[in-house]
Structure 1
Amino acid sequence: MEFLTTLVNDVNGLVWGPPMLVLILGTGFFLMLLLRFMPLRRIGTGFAMIWRGRHRGDAATGEISPFEALMTCLAATVGTGNIAGVATAIAVGGPGALFWMWCTALVGMATKYCEVVVAVHFREKDKRGEHAGGPMYAIKNGLGRKWLWLGFAFAIFGGLAGFGIGNMVQVNSMAQALEATFHVPGWVTGVVTMILIGLVILGGIKRIGVVAASLVPFMCVAYVLAGLVVLAVNVDRIPEALDLIFTHAFSPIAATGGFAGAAVMAAIRFGVARGIFSNEAGLGSAGIAQAAGTTSNAVESGLIGMMGTFIDTLIICSITGLAIVCSGVWSSGKSGAELSAMAFEVSMPGMGGIILTIALVIFAFTTILGWSYYGEKCWEFLLGTKSTVPYRVIWVIAIPFGAITQLDFAWLMADTLNGLMALPNLVSLILLSPVIVKLTRDYFKNRAEAGELSLQGK
C-alpha cells in the first residue's frame, strides 16, 4: 500500500505540476487569442443570456433550461474548493496566489466557452431519447473513430474521479465541519446526506436541475453577502490586502507569524492549481451538464457556460481570498477550511464560524449532486444506458462510507484522476478549435445581419 501511495503521489505531482498547469493556461490563452478575446468582451452578453435562459424552451432540444444547466455546473464547481481550496493556496503560496487564481479564471472563460460549444454541437441522444454530451462525445463525433480511445480515457478518468472528488471527499468535509461546529456525529451526516441525495438523483437530470436552480443562486448570494460583511468590517485593510496580493504575485514573500514564506513559483503553482480545481476550466466537465440544456445554438450555450467560471472564481473565490487576507489571518499558519473559518470568526465573533460551516455544507451537498450527473454520463458512454440505475444506487450507497472513513488515499487518487481529465479534453479543444471559431463567427455575423447584435462588448 505504501508503494501504491508513493506511486500515485508521484503521478499527482506530475498531473498538477508546472507542465500541466502551463498546458491548461497555455491552451486557454491560445483559445482566447483565436476568439479575439470575445469571452471577456461578452461578459455582459453572458449575464443577459443567463437571464433569458430561465425558461426551458423546446423540450425537443434538451431536458432542462439553460439556466438550470448552468446551476448544475455551478453546483458541481462551487464546493469545498471555494472555501478550503482558496485558503490552502494562500496558506502555501501567500496572498499572491489569489492574483494567479484570477488569471486562471480569465483565460479559463475561453476554455469553458469552447468546452461547452463543442459539447452541445456534437451531443447526441441516448436510447432513452435524452441528450448526452461532453468531451467524450465531442471526441467521438468531432474527431472520429481514430480518436475514440481518447474519449474512453476521459470517461474512465471522470467516472472514477467522481466517486472521490465529487462524492466521498465532499461528504467527508461536510461531516468534519458539522462535527467540529455542531457536534453532529459523522454517521448521522452520512445517512441524512445519502437520503437527500438519493431523493434527488434517482429522479435524473430534470430533478437535479430543479434543485440546483433553487439552491445554488441562494447559496452563492448568501455566501457573497456574508463575505462582504467581513470585508466591510476590515474595510480599512483592503488597500493593504490588494497591495500584498499584487506585490507578492511577482516577488517572494518572507516568513511572518506562522507563515513559512513562499517563492513566486509557489504563488503561481498553487494559485493556478486551486483555481482550476475550483472552476474546472480545462477539465471538460461543464459541457456534460450544458449538453442537457434546451438550446438550438451551441454558441449561446457557450456564452452561458463561460459565466460559471466568472461566478465561481472571480466572485466567490475572490470573496474567500480577500476575507482571509483582509482579516490578517493568512499568516497564522492555519490552512484549508480552518483558515477560512478563522477569517470569518475573527470578523464576526460567535457567528463567523457557524456561517462558514453552513456554507461549506451546502456547497459540498450541491457538488455531490452536480458530480453525480457527470459520473453518470461518463459511465453511460462506457457501458450504455443500462448502467444508469446501478450507478445511481452505488453513488448513493458510497455517501455514508465517505462520511466516516479516512480518505487520504482516496483524496489523492481522485485528485489525480480529476487532473488527468484535462489531457483528453485539451487535446480535443485544440484539434476542434477551427470548428469553434467558425461557429462563433457565424453566430455573431448572423446576429449582426439580423440587427440583434448588442453594442455591448464592441
Structure 2
Amino acid sequence: MLDLLNDLLWSKVLIVVLIGLGLWFTIGSRCVQFRHFGRMFRILGANQAFARDKHGHISSFQALMLSVAGRVGGGNIAGVAVAITLGGPGAIFWMWMVGLIGMATSYFECTLAQAYKTAEPDGTYRGGPAHYIARGMGRRWKWLAAVYSVLLLLTFGFAFSALQSYSVATSINDAFGIPVSVTGGILAVIVGAIIFGGVKRIAKVAEVLVPVMAVGYIAIALVVVVLNLGELPGVLALIVKSAFGLEPAIGGGIGAAIVMGVKRGLFSNEAGLGSAPNVAAVAYVRHPASQGIVQAFSVFIDTLIVCSCTAFIVLLGDVYQPGTGAQVGGVALTQASLAGLVGEWGRVFVSVALMLFGFTTIIYNYYLGENSLSWFNASNRGLVVLYRAVVIALCGWGATTDLGTVFAFADVTMGLLALANLLALAALFKPGLRLMRDYDAQIDAGVAEPVFDATRFSDLDIDADAWRLEEEDRAAIQSPAADPVPAKA
C-alpha cells in the first residue's frame, strides 16, 4: 500500500504539480531566478557583515548554509547514480531543467516565509509554510497549517532523523569497519551537543561544515573533469542526446529519462516541498525577496553543481556501461566510478562525503521538527527538551535498524507535505508577486540594498516587529528615502 501511494504521489501527481507551478512561477515572475542570479552573490557578501549575531540574529549566509545542509544529502550521491542507471544519462539533463525551474518555486516559498516570519525574544525568528498558511490564507485555513506542522514533525523531525543516522552509520561501517552501534552512540552524543545549543549553534555548525563538505566534493569532481577533459564534450553530448531519445539503447528511452530526472531532481533539491522555507525564515535581512533570491541559489548549488559532480564522476568512469543490461547501482556505482578514476581511496572519499552530507542533514531535520513544534506552542520549553531527547534516541536507534518501512512511510507523508505547501503557494502567488515588485521597484530606483516597509503591506497580516532594523543597520543605509522601516526603540 505504501509503495502504491508513493508511486501515485511521486511518479504522477507531484511531478505534474511541481513542474506546472514551477513554470507558472517562472513565467509570472519574468524569470526571477535568472534576472537576479548575479545579485545572489552580492546579497551574500553584504549579509556576511550585516547583523553578524551582535543582536542574536542569524545571517543570510548562515541560513543559506543550513538549507544547503538539508538539500545536499544522499540524493546527490546515490540518487543521481540511480537516475542514470534507470533513466540513462539523459536523466541528468531533465534534472538540470527541474533545478532551473525549481529555483523560481524556491524563491517564492522562501520570500513568503520571510515576509510572514515572527520575532522571538532571543533575537531569532520563526516562520515557514505553517506561518504563511495561517497568516496569509486566513483563519479558516489554520487547520491546514496544523496538518502541515504535524506532517513536518513526523517526516523530518522523527523519520528522516533515524534514516539519516542509518545512512551515516552504514557509510562509516563500509569505509572503516566501525560497528554501526558505536557510530550510532557517538552520533547521538554529537547531535545532542549541537541541538541543545539551539538554532544559533546549529547555524554556526552548518556555516563551517557545509562549505567544507561541498567544496571538497566539488573539488574532487573538478579533478576528475580536468584529468578527463578530452572526454567531457562526448559526455555532454551523450546527456543531451539521451534526454531526447536519440540514444535508444541507453536506459529506458526518453520517457524513463524524463521521469527519473524529474523525480530525482525534485527529491534532491526539495524546491516546493516546504522544508527550506522553515530555515529561510530565520535570517535577518532587509527585504523578504533578498532571502528568496539566496534560497533560489541553494537549489542551483544542489542540482546544477553538486548533482552534476556525481553525474560527471559516473559518466567519465568506465564502470557504468549503458545498454549492457544489469548495472551497479546507487552509491556503489559512484564509489566504483571514482575508484576507477583516482584509485581505491575514491571509495573511502565517497563514504566520508556521504557521512558528512548525512550528518548535516540530521541537524537540518531536527530544526524542521523543532520549528513545527514551535508553531503549536512556542513557549513550552519542556516539550522542546523532550523532542530533543527523542531525536538523540532516534539517532542511536536508527543507526542499528533497517528502516525500509519507515522510509516508505516518510515518503508518503513528505508527498502530502508537499501538496499542502503547493496549495498555499498557488493561493499566495499574488502576495508573492507584490513582494517581488516592491523589491524590483527599489532596484530600478537605484537602491543598492532594498528595504522592506511592513506598514505598506499591513493588509497581509505581517508581524511588524520582525521587520524593525537595528539602529546601526539603519545608519548604514545611505539613502533615507529608501529606508522607510521604523527603528527599534
TM-score of the superposed pair, with normalisation by structure 1: 0.93
Q: Considering only aligned residues, what root-mean-square deviation do their CA atoms show, in Å?
A: 2.0
1:254 shift after superposition: 4.9
C-alpha displacement at 1:41, in angstroms? 2.0
Structure 1, 50-59 or 172-181: larger mean CA deviation: 50-59
Give identity over the alignment, percent.
35
What is the aligned partner in structure 1 of residue 404 from structure 2? 408
Are positions 1:96 and 2:96 aligned together? no
Answering whether residue 318 of structure 2 is matched by residue 324 of structure 1, we say no
Q: Out of 437, 457, 472, which is 1:441 matched to? A: 437
CA contact (8 A) 2:53 2:59 kept: no
Task: Trace 1:28-67 onto structure 2 (pairs within 5 A).
Answer: 28-57=22-51, 63-67=57-61
What is aligned with 1:422?
A: 418
Indicate which of 281, 290, 300 corresponds to 2:290: 300
- Give the distance between the partners of 2:87 and 2:228, measured in 1 at CA: 22
User: How big is each residue's C-alpha offset from its partner over 1:208-231, in whole Å with a ceiling of 9 and x where there is no partner?
Assistant: 010000111111111100111122
1:262 is aligned to 2:252:
yes
Output the CA distance in 2 between the equivalents of 1:364 and 1:280: 15
TM-score (norm 2): 0.87
Inter-partner Cα distance in structure 1 for 2:447 and 2:260: 45
1:284 partner SS? coil
Question: Map of 1:366-405 to 2, 5 A cutoff?
Answer: 366-386=360-380, 387-405=383-401
For residue 442 of structure 2, what is the amino acid of its counterpart? N
* Mapped contact 2:175–2:352 kept (Cα < 8 A): no
Change (3 A) 1:447 1:239: closer
Q: Of the candidates 196, 203, 222, which is equivalent to residue 197 of structure 2?
A: 203
User: 1:35 Cα deviation (Å)?
Assistant: 0.8
- 8 Å Cα contact 1:171/1:402 also seen in 2: yes
Matching residue's letter, 1:202: F
Q: 1:62–1:285: structure 2 CA closer, same or farther, 3 Å change rule? A: farther
Q: 1:149 Cα deviation (Å)? A: 1.9
1:188-214 per-residue CA deviation (whole Å, 9 max, x = no partner) reads 111111111111111111000100001
In 1, distance between residues paired with 2:130 and 2:77? Answer: 30
Aligned 8 A contact 2:56 2:123 in 1: no
Give the match for residue 4 of structure 1: none
2:266 is matched with 276
Bigger radius of gyration: 2
Tell me the equivalent position of 2:304.
314
Name the structure 2 match of 1:135: 129
Cα distance between partner residues in 2 of 1:287 and 1:342: 36
SS of equivalent to 1:329? coil
Residue 339 of structure 1: how far off its partner (Å)? 1.0
Task: Give 2:456's aligned residue.
Answer: none
Q: C-alpha offsets along residues 113-167 of structure 1, whole Å, 9 cap, x if unaligned?
A: 1011100101123576642100110001101111122212221221111146631
Instruction: Note the 1:191-230 alignment, pairs <5 A.
Output: 191-230=185-224
Larger relative CO (CA 8 A, sep 6+): 1 or 2? 1
Give CA-to-partner distance per residue, 1:318-358, whole Å, 9 cap, x none: 11112111213333611111111111111011211111111
Query: Aligned residues, how many?
Result: 444
Give me the whole-angstrom Cα distance separating, in 2, the residues matched to 1:81 and 1:188. 25
Tell me the amino acid that sits aligned with residue 395 of structure 1.
Answer: V
1:3 is matched with which residue?
A: none
Give the Cα–Cα distance (whole angstroms) in 2 for the partners of residues 40 and 206 of structure 1: 31
Q: 1:39–1:109: 8 Å Cα contact kept in structure 2?
A: yes
Distance verdict in 2 for CA 1:379–1:453, change over 3 Å: closer
In structure 1, the residue matched to 2:357 is 363
Which structure 1 residue ranges, 5 or more long, are not aligned? 1-6
CA separation in 2, counterparts of 1:145 and 1:343?
Answer: 54
